[in-house]
């Protein structure tokens, strides 16, 4: 089994990271540092074909969806 490694990046204000599905570089999600304030980094996300959620909201929705599938 291949070990997954987290990529850590340093970005400054207005610098971005581009993510796309493997083999599909035309379907991009751009994540940009919008502002840096004490104790927080403000990020902007731009990707028309992507749904974007905070991780805690995504986890709750995913768990609720899985519960509904198993309770039918």
Domain range enclosing 56 = 16-70
Instruction: Provide the pLDDT for residue 7.
Output: 86
Instruction: Give one DSSP letter per residue of 23-49, joined into a string.
Output: T-TTS-EEEEEEEEETTEEEEEEE-TT
Does 27 fall in a domain?
Answer: yes
Phi, psi for residue 39 in degrees, rounded to 5: 65, 15
What is residue 61's predicted lDDT score, i.e. its pLDDT? 85
Domains of the chain: total: 1
Domain assignment present for residue 7? The answer is no
Query: Using CA atoms, how far apart are residues 20 and 53, in angstroms rounded to an integer?
Result: 17
pLDDT in tens, 25-42: 999 999 999 999 999 999
Give this prediction's pTM: 0.71
Q: Has residue 30 been placed in a domain?
A: yes
Q: Is residue 44 part of a domain?
A: yes
pLDDT-derived band at 62, boundaries 50, 70, 90: confident
Span 45-58, pLDDT tens digits:
999 889 899 999 99
């Amino acid at each position: 089994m291949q070990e997954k490694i987290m990529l850590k990046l340093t970005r400054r204000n207005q610098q971005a990271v581009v993510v796309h599905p493997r083999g599909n570089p035309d379907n991009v999600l751009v994540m940009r540092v919008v502002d840096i304030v004490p104790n927080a980094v403000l990020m902007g996300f731009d990707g028309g074909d992507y749904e974007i959620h905070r991780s805690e909201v995504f986890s709750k929705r995913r768990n609720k969806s899985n519960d509904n599938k198993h309770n039918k």
